Structure formats: C-alpha cells, structure tokens
A and B are shown apart, each in its own frame.
Chain A
Amino acid sequence: MALLEVRDLQVSFETPDGTVEAVRGIDFSLQPGEGLAIVGESGSGKSQAMLAMLGLLAENGSASGVARYRGQDLMAMTPPQLNAHRGKDIAMIFQDPMTSLNPYLSIERQMVEVVRHHQGLGRREAQTHAVEMLRAVRIPDPEQRIKQYPHEFSGGMRQRILIAMGLLCEPAILIADEPTTALDVTVQAQIAALVREVVARSGMASILITHDLGVVAGVSDKVMVMYAGQVVEYGTTEQIYHHPQHPYTRGLIASVPRLDQVDDRQLHAIPGNPPNLLDLPQGCSFRERCGAAFEACGAAPELAAAGQGQQVRCHLERDA
C-alpha cells in the first residue's frame, strides 16, 4: 500500500474577480521512503495542493478529492482528527524561516510543546529530545542555544531549527515548501545537503515543493511538473532531466542558465506570460506559449502513460 495516495485533488478560491481553480485534479502516490519533487512556477498550484491536504487553506479556499494517508482520508477528517496527524505523521517546513517561528517564545518552548503534545513525553525527556534534534541539524552548542529566541539566529540557523522541528516526531512524510529559496547560495547548499542527509538517515518519505530545478536534481527520486493547476509531466528525476517530453518541462530546463556550461548564446525563454487562472485558454493550458501547438491542442489533453512509468499531458506523439 502506498503511504500517501492522492486522487482528483481540487482546490478553488473565491475571489472578488471570480472563482480561481488553483488545483484542477491531481493524482499521485508516494511510497515509504520515496522522495517526490513538485516543480512549478508561481500560481501552478504546487503549494496549495499540499496545504489543502493538511487542512491549511486560506478561508476563501475549498478543496475536494481524496488524500489517503495509510488508507485514511485526510480530506474527510475534522480539525481535531487532522491535528493528530499534522506534525506527527506528516510535517511541513515552510519557505520563510523568518515568519514561521513565534518571535515571542524561546526555541525550547516551541520545540518542547510539539513533542509533549504528540508523544506525551515529560518536560525533561522532551527537552533532551529537542536538544538532540538541534544537534542533528548541526546547531552548535544546542544546550545553550535552545534557550534563545528566533531573532538571535541567522536565516540559515532558523531554517535548521525549522527542519529540526519538522523532524521532532519522526514523521513518515516530510513536506518542504521551498526550504532553501529565502537563503543565500552558500547556506542553500548546506541546507539542501542537510535535508538530503536527514531524509536518507531516517528513511522518511519527502515531498519537496520548489521552482528550482537545481535543488530538485539532488534531493528527489520522482518529479511532478505542474502548470496552471494540473500535472503536465511525471517521471523519475533522470527521465525529467534527460528525457523531458512535455514542451513546458523542456522549456523550463532550457531557460535556466547553467554555471557549469560556457554558453554565450541566448537563453531559451518560454514566450508569453504566466497563465491567468481566471482566464485560461480553451484546451491545453500551455497552448498559447507552446512552440509545438497544433489543431489538436484546442481540446484538453489527458495525462497519459509515455513509457517506463513516465506520464505526459500533451497531444504530441509520446514515446511508447
């Protein structure tokens, strides 16, 4: 049985300009220990899909579909039922380490609270456990530093603390939403390596949400590419990087300048603008920006098998 099984997950938001369909039916499953990356640009629905699953949508949002964690549907749970799973079985790390910690509480208070709630440990044991976790993410002097407040740490250190908090209850799934985006390059490298290391050591499954194809390459086994609220391509990391089949995936990979390649040519930019979710084109959502579009693209393509487990949502001839 898959650890997590998501079927036809849909998310929409009521806005003054109309209903925005942010996620338009995504399906995926996650096996124990597997690393999945969800790649997409702003507005692709990658974060909202995960927030919906954990019952964390904004007030004007609503979701439907099924998200089974070990057979139990998270989407059908009441908030108290969800609380029993959030942080314990499924933990989430957010992008901004500056705003995800409570500035009024010491790190110790924030960490101990989580462990005591979920694991019923006594104060002493919870403290010891929290210190161990800080040591695991390589915070120097964890016994002393745990007494400090968020503002006394640098951005990279705060992100380490968030990772430690995510790992406190040894969740089966760790969801990380752009964990390195807000950090400097040299710190990014440290944090990406840390995420890779803790995931490998604990054997937990992970979902990495990101726009950065460089980060994905090192962390994940499988990649799901999203565009305008839909999955447009799914495959192993090698398939996506070396054999992308959807024109959007190809465009995305080609538009990133690479430091290890001397290249004086023009970057391959994807023409046009990001999709307006209130006014999507008929048929394939990527059609107006796609260099390969033809008549068939007037009808919406289905996500279909494209050989060796790869899946593509495109009318172009797929590799069988």
Chain B
Amino acid sequence: MSANMKRRVGPGQAKPVLKVQDLAVHYQLEQGGLLRSETVPLRAVDGMSFELYRGETLGVVGESGCGKSTLARALLGLVRPRRGRVLWLGQDLTQLDEKALRKKRKEIQIIFQDPLASLNPRMTVGDIIAEPLWTFYPKIARVQVEERVRGMMKMVGLLPNQINRYPHEFSGGQCQRIGIARALVLNPQLIICDEPVSALDVSIQAQIINLLRDLQRKLRLSLLFIAHDLAVVRHISDRVMVMYLGRAMEVASADALYRRPLHPYTSALVKAVPIPDPALARQPVDTGLTGDMPSPLNPPAGCVFHTRCPYAVKRCQLEVPPLRRLEHGDWVACHRAEELDLTIVKRPSSTV
C-alpha cells in the first residue's frame, strides 16, 4: 500500500525543531457607542500546542476565520502572542527582542498567497531574490550574490537570464517561483507556506506543489503548509492539523485523517470536498454540519464546535475538550473520540 511508502517522519523519531505550547493571539477590538467604548478580545488563536519535525510537512487546514494565518504570523513574530511559547530549536522566540528575532528569520521564512502582491514591482527579480542576502550579509561580494541568485532561479525552474526582468513580466506561477527562491536563498530550515497555491490556476498549482515537494525532500526542509484545499494539503503533508475558531481540533497523519477522521469537524470537512467524478459528485452530500461558524468575538462555551456538531452532548456545552493523544499516536480535541466511528466510506467510482 502506498500508505506504507509514505516517509514516516514525525513523532517518535527525533526532537522536534519547532515546539508550540499553549499559543494564544488575541486582537483587541474597539466596540461600543460614542460615550463609552470598550475593547473586546478577538481570540484568533486560543491555546494551540503542536510539534514540527525536521524534514516534515505539517499541513494546517481550516475555513476562513479559523486563525491559520494568525498562527503563521505569530510563529514568525509578526504579531505578539498573548501567552504561550514558540520553541525554535529549543529557544523561545516569544522572549526575543526585535533584533534577535530578525536574526532568527534567516532560519524561518515565509511564502505568501498572492505571488504578485508580495513582490516589489520596482525591483528586478535578481534584486528581489538577493535582498535577504544583502540584509543578513551586508559585506558579501557582488559576484557571489549573483551566482547564488542565478543558482536559486535555476533551482525553482526560472531561467537565470531573466534576472533583470520585473515581476509584472511574469505569470502568477512564475511569480510564486520567485517568492520561493527568495524564501530559500538564506538556506532556512523551516518554511511557512500561507496558501501558496490558492491564487493560481489549476494547471499551475500542480507545478508549484510538485516544486515545493521536491525542494523539501532535497533540502530536508520542514514545511508548515497552510491551505483551505484539503486535497492539496493531503497530497503534500505528512501530518495534518485541523483548526476551528482558533483551536486545533485534530492532528493526525495525512492518510489516517482522511480515511478515519477522529473529530466530527474533520469528518464534515472531508465529506464536503467535491469529487471530480460525475457519479460520485451527484450523490447527495451530508456533512452533518448545521448553521454557520460562530463569531470569534463570542465563541461558544465548552467545545467551540458544539453548536454545529451532530454528536454534541451536554458535556460538550460545559467542558472544553483538551487536545489529547490517543493510543495510536494521533491527537484530538473531542470528548467522544473513542465512541465515534467516523470512517469515511469510500464510494465506488463510476465508469463509462
């Protein structure tokens, strides 16, 4: 089975490179009338703990407003967390001052969603990719920079003779390649990819996913791959974390998560993905979900998912389920995980 062919990277092997403990990011929003305004906390990320190993790809999925982008920003120190620790190779990044944190960004880089908007339109491709080098090694020789930049361009599938062109001369997929080259130029160990392919056309998405996977294996990078597309995340990830209203609902190996979800929300997400097969897609889908996602300004008490969960019982309204480790090593935040069987029944596909 191809499940066994998958590289088994993850818990049980080495020490994690990244260890996040009880991380919370709250934004303070002003609310109220003319005379008396008060601030209310928006709990974008509210108590998340997880680990990431060397050479591992951890997928992060969740719908808009679940806090996945805030999580990325908090890991990079772009927003200050309200509490919790972000241990990078044993050192707590949340305790570092701005200067020390900047140095760490040599090791942790990010790739953004909108490829064109994240590139300076007035800089040439060569200057964009070289900028991190100049920032961290101001005394580096010009020839050395150019050699490195050309090497990076080749590695990500760009023609090195395009080094003097500007971003607008490239297509969306090529701009994302430029963004990847810029992220890789300092030899980082961790790359945070925030929706790196969702702005691209289908045929180009596959190119970028393949490129990221190849680079990750070649360079033994750790990737945190944030996306809303579950099929893409499954394809690239070793383990997947499912987020809802600022919390992790489940962290499991990619195969297990899609075959036998442990959390009712994961099950709903998996069932909702349309399948490109006419006979399967015409069958009615029941995700089991009711209603809309509650406002993060006023999250439900108890389990944040209980208002939409088809399996919720009294206990779910009262007690917050902790993210806990089950016997086989996967993590879930659900009181009823042991008694529920959420196995995805594979439907027979159609033929002509």
- For the complex, what is the distance from the CA of A189 to the CA of B267, rounded to whole Å? 13
| Contact partner, B203, options A41, A217, A242, Cβ 8 Å | A41
Cβ A269 vs Cβ B63 within 8 A: no
Q: How far is the CB of A220 from chain B (nearest CB, A)?
A: 9
Query: Does A1 lie at the interface of the complex (its beta carbon under 8 Å from any beta carbon of B)?
Result: no
Query: Does A215 lie at the interface of the complex (its beta carbon under 8 Å from any beta carbon of B)?
Result: yes
Query: Does A117 lie at the interface of the complex (its beta carbon under 8 Å from any beta carbon of B)?
Result: no
Cβ B351 vs Cβ A242 within 8 A: yes
Cβ A217 vs Cβ B204 within 8 A: no
Cβ B206 vs Cβ A253 within 8 A: no
Cβ B273 vs Cβ A214 within 8 A: yes
Cβ B352 vs Cβ A243 within 8 A: yes
- Known contacts A157-B292, A262-B3; A186/B276 CB under 8 A: no
Closest to A43 in B: B201
Closest to A255 in B: B206
Count of residues in A whose CB is under 8 Å from the partner chain: 50
Closest to B232 in A: A257
Cβ B228 vs Cβ A184 within 8 A: yes
Closest to A157 in B: B292
Most buried by B among A211, A259, A260, A270: A259
Q: How far is the CB of B98 from chain A (nearest CB, A)?
A: 35
- For the complex, what is the distance from the CA of A268 to the CA of B221, rounded to whole Å? 23
Write out the residue numbers on chain B whose beta carbons fall within 8 Å of the beta carbon of A218.
274, 278, 281-282
| Contact partner, B276, options A256, A262, A269, A273, Cβ 8 Å | A256
Write out the residue numbers on chain A whose beta carbons fall within 8 Å of the beta carbon of B285.
189, 193
Write out the residue numbers on chain B whose beta carbons fall within 8 Å of the beta carbon of A189.
271-274, 285, 287
Q: 5 more A-B contacts (CB under 8 A) besides A185-B230, A211-B202, A260-B280?
A: A154-B292, A193-B285, A237-B278, A256-B276, A260-B349
Ordered nearest first, which 4 A-B pairs have the shortest CB separation? A214-B274, A218-B281, A217-B281, A269-B206
In the assembled complex, 28 residue pairs joining A and B whose CB atoms fall closer than 8 Å, in A order, are A41-B202, A154-B293, A155-B64, A185-B269, A186-B63, A186-B272, A186-B287, A189-B274, A190-B287, A214-B276, A217-B278, A218-B281, A238-B350, A242-B350, A242-B351, A242-B352, A252-B203, A253-B276, A255-B202, A257-B206, A257-B232, A259-B230, A260-B347, A269-B203, A270-B206, A273-B204, A274-B171, A274-B172
